[in-house]
Structure 1
Amino acid sequence: MIKAEDSAPFLSRPLELPCGAVLKNRLVKSAMSDSLADGEGNPTEAQIRLYERWAEGGVALSIIGEVQGDPRFPEKPGNLVLGAHSNLEMLRQLATRASKNGTHIWPQLGHAGALSHSPISQPKGPSALEIGSFQCKGMSITEIKQLPDIYAKAALLAQEAGFTGVQIHAGHGFLLSQFLSPLFNRRNDQYGGSIEARCRIIIEVIDKVRRTVGTAFPIGIKINSTDQLEGGLTEEDALEAIRILNQTSIDLIELSGGTYFPGAKSSSDSSGGGPYFVDFSQRAQEVTSVPLVATGGFKTRAQALSSLASGTVDMLGVARAMVLNTSLANDWLAHASADPVFPRFEAAPPGGITAWYTMRLTALGNDDENNFVLDLPSAIRVYEERDNSRCITWEKAFSHYSP
Structure 2
Amino acid sequence: MDTHHKASLFQPLELPCGVILKNRIGKSAMSDSLGDGRGDPTDAQIRLYERWAEGGLAVSIVGEVQGNPHFAEKPGNLVLGPASDVERFRALARAGSINGAQLWLQLGHAGAMAHPPISDPKGPSALDIPGLTCSALTLKEVRDLPSEFARTAHMAKKLGFGGVQIHAAHGFLLSQFLSPLFNRRDDKYGGSVTNRMRLLLEVAHEVRTAVGPSFPIAVKLNATDQLEGGFHEDDALAVVAALDETGIDLIDVSGGTYFPGAKSASDSAGSGPYFFDFAEQARPLTDKPLMVTGGFKTLRQVTGALDRGIDMIGLARALVLDPSLPSKWQSGAVDDPDFPRFQDPPEGGITAWYTMRLTEIGEDREEAKVGDLHEAVRTYEARDEVRSGIWKERAWE
- Regarding TM over 0.5, the answer is yes
Q: CA deviation at 1:118?
A: 0.6
Question: Of the candidates 354, 358, 361, which is equivalent to residue 364 of structure 1?
Answer: 361
Matched, 1:318 2:311: no
Matched, 1:395 2:392: yes
Q: CA deviation at 1:26?
A: 0.3
Aligned residues: 397
**TM-score normalised by structure 2 residue count:** 0.98
| Match in the other structure for 1:383 | 380
Q: CA deviation at 1:200?
A: 0.6
Matched, 1:207 2:216: no
Q: CA deviation at 1:338?
A: 3.7
Q: CA deviation at 1:335?
A: 2.5
Greater shift in the superposed pair: 234-243 or 123-132:
123-132
In structure 1, how many angstroms separate the alpha carbons of the residues matched to 2:207 and 2:54? 30
Question: Of the candidates 116, 119, 122, which is equivalent to residue 117 of structure 2?
Answer: 119
SS at match of 1:72: helix
SS at match of 2:367: helix
In structure 2, how many angstroms separate the alpha carbons of the residues matched to 1:159 and 1:379? 35
In structure 2, how many angstroms separate the alpha carbons of the residues matched to 1:286 and 1:301? 25
Matched, 1:234 2:257: no
The amino acid of 2:78's aligned partner reads L
In structure 2, how many angstroms separate the alpha carbons of the residues matched to 1:212 and 1:63? 20
Show CA shifts across 1:109-129 (max 9, x none): 000001100100111100001
Matched, 1:195 2:193: yes
Show CA shifts across 1:294-344 (max 9, x none): 001111111111111122x11100000000000011111223334111111
Matched, 1:220 2:222: no
In structure 1, how many angstroms separate the alpha carbons of the residues matched to 2:6 and 2:96? 26
| Match in the other structure for 2:9 | 11
Question: Of the candidates 327, 334, 338, which is equivalent to residue 337 of structure 1?
Answer: 334
| Match in the other structure for 1:355 | 352
Greater shift in the superposed pair: 332-341 or 86-95:
332-341
Does structure 1 retain, via aligned residues, the 8 Å contact 2:65–2:105? Answer: yes
Greater shift in the superposed pair: 125-134 or 111-120:
125-134
Matched, 1:273 2:271: yes
Does structure 2 retain, via aligned residues, the 8 Å contact 1:360–1:372? Answer: no
Show CA shifts across 1:322-374 (max 9, x none): 00000011111223334111111111122111111000000000001028754
The amino acid of 2:326's aligned partner reads A
**TM-score normalised by structure 1 residue count:** 0.97
Q: Which runs of 5+ in 2 are unaligned?
A: none
SS at match of 2:209: helix
In structure 2, how many angstroms separate the alpha carbons of the residues matched to 1:271 and 1:373? 17
| Match in the other structure for 1:74 | 72
SS at match of 1:31: strand
| Match in the other structure for 2:304 | 306
Does structure 1 retain, via aligned residues, the 8 Å contact 2:127–2:135? Answer: yes
SS at match of 2:394: helix
Does structure 1 retain, via aligned residues, the 8 Å contact 2:163–2:215? Answer: yes
Percent identical: 58
In structure 1, how many angstroms separate the alpha carbons of the residues matched to 2:331 and 2:182? 45
SS at match of 2:75: coil
In structure 2, how many angstroms separate the alpha carbons of the residues matched to 1:52 and 1:188? 46
The amino acid of 2:334's aligned partner reads S
| Match in the other structure for 2:141 | 143
Does structure 1 retain, via aligned residues, the 8 Å contact 2:340–2:370? Answer: no
The amino acid of 2:198's aligned partner reads R
The amino acid of 2:373's aligned partner reads L
In structure 2, how many angstroms separate the alpha carbons of the residues matched to 1:90 and 1:206? 27
Greater shift in the superposed pair: 171-180 or 198-207:
198-207
SS at match of 1:285: helix
In structure 2, how many angstroms separate the alpha carbons of the residues matched to 1:269 and 1:318? 14
| Match in the other structure for 2:90 | 92
Alpha-carbon RMSD: 1.1
Q: CA deviation at 1:396?
A: 1.4
The amino acid of 2:287's aligned partner reads S
Closer, same or farther: CA 54–133 of 1 in aligned 2, 3 Å = closer
| Match in the other structure for 1:253 | 251
Does structure 2 retain, via aligned residues, the 8 Å contact 1:28–1:60? Answer: yes
In structure 1, how many angstroms separate the alpha carbons of the residues matched to 2:144 and 2:66? 14
Question: Of the candidates 178, 181, 186, which is equivalent to residue 180 of structure 1?
Answer: 178
Does structure 1 retain, via aligned residues, the 8 Å contact 2:113–2:132? Answer: no
In structure 1, how many angstroms separate the alpha carbons of the residues matched to 2:143 and 2:336? 46
The amino acid of 1:384's aligned partner reads E
Closer, same or farther: CA 40–286 of 1 in aligned 2, 3 Å = same
In structure 1, how many angstroms separate the alpha carbons of the residues matched to 2:2 and 2:24? 15
